Amino acid sequence: MCEENINAAPKRVLSCIQPSGMLTLGNYLGALKNWVAMQEEFDCTFAVADLHAITVRQEPAALRSQIYSTYAILLALGIDPEKNTVFIQSHVPEHTALSWLLSCNTQFGEMSRMTQFKDKSAKHPENVNVGLFSYPVLMAADILLYKPDFVPVGADQKQHLEIARDIAIRFNNKYGDIFTVPEPYIPKAGARIMSLQDPAKKMSKSDDNQNSWVAILDSKDDIIRKFKRAVTDSDAVVRMADDKPGISNLITIYSAVTDKTVAEVEREFEGKGYGDFKLAVGEAVADTLAPIKQRYDEIIKDKKALETLYKEGAQKAEYVARKTYFKAMKKVGFVL
């Protein structure tokens, strides 16, 4: 750290993850791995975005258990709830409250351009609800309440972050200096992990084909089986190339979990076939995820301890969120 920064307050970080299914290797490499690393240097706030999850249909019992398990995975990854603020989004009502103020300062036209809305409404034509459409405004509220400098996310969230920045800038120009305009923090390797069955699509926990994604909690056997079945081309050369999306995705994954460069990976597998490579990727991923699963199995057993932690997290979060929310309300002209 340079000398002039010694007494400066640490920069702030905020991110959230939806409890919309089993968390995947894509979530881990695109976002969560960075969350773990960033807690060493920054003042971090992390949330389980349960309100976002109901933009697609969720069975109530499954949603409840996924909220618990997502919170427990954050702890199992090594995110320290004492050092950071780790909470469940719906426990802090300022998120939905601020999202109304922001909605009235966001244009229909700009929301209509969001690609995630287009993808998800095409996937669920029977449930194109208003919440799915205004999802990025709630996400902007999640972010702006905590005035973060950085928001660690995978590349698919870049467009939503740009909207959050636009909303913040517009609001500040209209009402005075209220929000910090955050920067996205997207990893160099692993920002966009693709489906193992269709490398044109991102790996997604809500994909019905279970062979297309690896869950953080999958067993070693399942992980190895899914990589063995991963779709590749017939050229049998382990090399990164635009016309080899399947193998390129596997190289990205292997390079992200082993911290080797792409050139090192290509050299390591020169002259070897796809079978050897797929097995090596499966083993490296399984070795990375095994200790997380082991810690998770312990943590999830004690619901009482989890409850204490998420309640404390919500209190810490609300303390910060309230200040920003009431400042915004006042500036807009509400009577407090």
Dihedral over Cα of 67, 157, 86, 315: its sign: negative
Listing DSSP states for 230-269 in one string gives: ----SS------TT-HHHHHHHHHHHHHHT--HHHHHHHT
> If binding is defined by CB under 6 A, does position 251 make contact with ligand ATP?
no
Distance from C-alpha of 187 to C-alpha of 93, rounded to nearest angstrom: 31
Nearer to ligand ATP, 246 or 328 (CB): 246
Question: C-beta of 202: minimal distance to ligand ATP in Å?
Answer: 4
Closest CA to 185 of 148, 220, 216: 148
Q: Torsion angle, CA of 231/232/238/242, rounded to 10 degrees?
A: -110
> If binding is defined by CB under 6 A, does position 106 make contact with ligand ATP?
no
Question: C-beta of 152: minimal distance to ligand LTN in Å?
Answer: 8
Based on the residue annotation, tell me whether 120 is a catalytic residue of this protein. Answer: yes
Residue 318: name its binding partner from ligand LTN, ligand ATP, none (Cβ under 5 to 8 Å by kind). none
Nearer to ligand LTN, 151 or 250 (CB): 151
Residue 26: name its binding partner from ligand ATP, ligand LTN, none (Cβ under 5 to 8 Å by kind). ligand ATP
Token pair, residue 140, equals: 């902007």
Residue 143: name its binding partner from ligand LTN, ligand ATP, none (Cβ under 5 to 8 Å by kind). ligand LTN
Distance from C-alpha of 115 to C-alpha of 65, rounded to nearest angstrom: 29
Which residues are 44's β-sheet partners? 13
User: Contact positions toward ligand LTN, by CB under 6 A?
Assistant: 15-16, 18, 49, 52, 139, 142-143, 151, 153, 157, 160
Token pair, residue 97, equals: 């409250």
Nearer to ligand ATP, 38 or 178 (CB): 38
Based on the residue annotation, tell me whether 11 is a catalytic residue of this protein. Answer: no
Which helix (DSSP H) or strand (DSSP E) does residue 185 occupy?
A: strand 183-185
Give φ, ψ of 240 to 5 degrees: -75, 125
Half-sphere exposure in the Cβ direction for 178 (13 Å, CA) = 30
Site size for ligand ATP (CB under 6 A): 21
Nearer to ligand ATP, 253 or 328 (CB): 253
Distance from C-alpha of 189 to C-alpha of 82, rounded to nearest angstrom: 29
- Residues 6 or more apart whose CB falls under 8 angstroms from that of 5 comprise none
> If binding is defined by CB under 6 A, does position 157 make contact with ligand ATP?
yes
Residue 137: name its binding partner from ligand LTN, ligand ATP, none (Cβ under 5 to 8 Å by kind). none
Strands 150-152 and 85-88: unpaired
> If binding is defined by CB under 6 A, does position 17 make contact with ligand ATP?
yes
Residue 203: name its binding partner from ligand LTN, ligand ATP, none (Cβ under 5 to 8 Å by kind). ligand ATP
> If binding is defined by CB under 6 A, does position 156 make contact with ligand ATP?
yes
> If binding is defined by CB under 6 A, does position 13 make contact with ligand ATP?
no
Catalytic sites, residue numbers: 120, 202, 205
Q: Residue numbers of the site for ligand ATP (CB under 6 A)? A: 17-18, 20-21, 26-27, 29-31, 153-154, 156-157, 191-193, 202-206
